[in-house]
Chain A
Amino acid sequence: MSSSIQVSIGHVAASLVLVAVAIAVSRWRRAELEQDIAVATIRSLIQLTAIGYAIELIFEADTIWLVLALLAVMVLFGAITARARARKVPDAFVTLLIALTTAGAATLGLVVALGIFDPTPRYLVPVGGMVIGNAMTASAVALNRLGDEIGDSRAMIEATLSLGATAQEAAAPIVRRALRSGMIALVDSTKTTGLIFFPGTMVGMLLAGADPTDAVRLQLILLYSLLGSVAISALVATTLSYRNFFTPAQQLRDRA
């Protein structure tokens, strides 16, 4: 998988022309996104450059501990980012830390145990980043939905509790819908992959000159791994979070 193209700073700078197009469109149609586009461009430049250097260091050091440290940092920032989408969920941060850690550890552990990837930084860093990133999105969407639905369905939940249902029984339909909403985006994009869009890994490998068959196979492995990781993260996040809305006496807590 050696790179057959060389990407210079000049090439990157040239691609900024397309950013200028985006800013021009926003300005012309008064979408008021110029500032956001500028911030996004600068942030992506700084963040990706920094992570590029970090990955280079980790590859050179070739030690599993640095990989684990990098993944832990990703989990931490993932949980902080996802918490912003889950403001209505009590103690969401701890739950998200557990969900992302579980999803990352289980998915990476399985792909290594099954012999799909070697436990080396070259595989674990990029795959871990994708796994944790997708797990973060899935758990954020699921908890956002969970918080909204429990807030909107208080009367229904209490009416069900009044029948002697447990908190788990009363919240079950909401937890089910929240889990589904966390997973559905990836399920849908997996259905249409290759038809409507080419996923990033495959595009990257093709650009780097890889054999298309290898590119497709690696992409499939990643897609299937991501399906597992979003399912685990959304499941752990929703299962742990719904309990935080109830007291041990199966009462719905007052709004925070």
Chain B
Amino acid sequence: MAPVLFELSEVSLSRGGRQVLDSISARIPVGATAVVGPSGSGKSTLLRLLNRLADPDSGAITYRGRPLGEHDPLELRRQVSLVPQLPALIGGTVGSNLRYAAELAGTEPDLDRDLRLAGLDPGFADRDITALSVGEQQRAMLARSLVQRPSVLLLDEPTSALDETARNAIEATLAELRRELDISMVIVSHDPGQARRLSDWVIRVERGRAVGCGSAAEVLA
């Protein structure tokens, strides 16, 4: 197993009287990890804990060996960047979104590079976000995250809103990203096939519990 990125110990969380995560213990190594399971099983909630958009009610999570609570949440979110299931760009152009993200992270934006890595032509920088398809918006969200030079990408159902052709194209982009950048990914997916194609390590979640954790070959066999 590759070095551990995140380690979850007995992590539980309830919302509105419902147990969303129930005593989950799992390791997420460097590389690509898929969190799979049916809709409503707690996968997206688990992902949100990893960059502290939410905190668990009980249990502990470490990132690179240090408790998550000891990391500055703002710094953590730039290192561990979450791309949500549905695009949520700020009004304006694709370029203004990328420049905003760069400003927050204190990085020098290289729009051509980041758009290309996300599978978009550099000409998209001047496009208004309202003129983009959902697939293009999703790629713009990915480019916006990449601008911050994160070391981990958290991808919440990155292709759920897309047709098969667009899904294949995004998967190819993500595979290409892994080849080009030293970046880890945690991908939430309800599709075991996608998990098999994109990840080395898999956590299977059902009804808020981790029912499988291991190599993709083992868990998805």
Judge: A and B partners, yes or no.
yes
Partner-binding segment picked from A116-124, A157-165, A179-187, A196-204 = A157-165
Which residues on the B side are within 8 Å of A162 (C-beta)? Answer: 51, 53, 77, 81-82, 84
Do A163 and B52 have beta carbons less than 8 Å apart?
Answer: no
Q: Judge whether B104 and A163 touch: CB under 8 Å.
A: yes
Q: Are A164 and B53 in contact (CB under 8 A)?
A: no
Stretch at the interface among A31-39, A102-110, A208-216, A247-255: A247-255
By secondary structure, the B interface counts as mixed
Within 8 A of A (CB), among B42-95: 51-55, 73-75, 77-78, 81-82, 84, 86, 88-90
Given contacts A155-B84, A155-B88, A251-B54, contact A166 B77 (CB under 8 A): no
Q: In the complex the two chains form, what is the Cα distance from A254 to B45 in whole Å?
A: 13
**Docked pose: A67 CA to B88 CA in angstroms:** 51
Residues of B within 8 A of A250 (CB): 73-74
**Are the C-beta atoms of A163 and B105 separated by less than 8 Å?**
yes
* A156 in the interface (beta carbon within 8 A): yes
Closest to B15 in A: A254
Q: Which of B15, B88, B105 contacts A164 (CB 8 A)?
A: B105
Q: Is B73 a contact of A158 with CB atoms below 8 Å? A: no
* Cβ distance B126 to chain A, nearest Cβ, rounded Å: 21
Does A56 lie at the interface of the complex (its beta carbon under 8 Å from any beta carbon of B)?
Answer: no
B199 sits at the interface (CB 8 A): no
Instruction: Report yes or no: A156 in contact with B90, Cβ–Cβ below 8 A.
Output: yes
CA distance A158 to B154 in the complex (A): 13
Residues of B within 8 A of A91 (CB): none
A62: CB under 8 A from chain B? no
Contact A161 B54 (CB under 8 A): no
Does any Cβ of A come within 8 Å of B101's Cβ?
yes
Q: Which of A156, A161, A173, A254 is within 8 Å of B77, CB to CB?
A: A161
Quick one: which of A156, A163, A249, A251 contacts B78, CB cutoff 8 A?
Answer: A163
CA distance A131 to B17 in the complex (A): 44
A contact residues vs B (CB 8 Å cutoff): 155-156, 158-166, 169, 173, 249-252, 254
List the 8 shortest-distance A-B pairs measured between CB atoms, nearest first. Answer: A159-B88, A164-B78, A162-B82, A164-B77, A164-B74, A156-B88, A155-B88, A249-B73
Q: Offer 26 A-B interface pairs, CB within 8 angstroms, sorted by A.
A: A155-B84, A155-B88, A156-B90, A158-B53, A158-B88, A159-B89, A159-B141, A160-B90, A161-B53, A162-B53, A162-B77, A162-B81, A162-B82, A163-B78, A163-B101, A163-B104, A163-B145, A164-B77, A164-B104, A166-B74, A169-B104, A173-B90, A249-B52, A250-B73, A251-B54, A254-B16
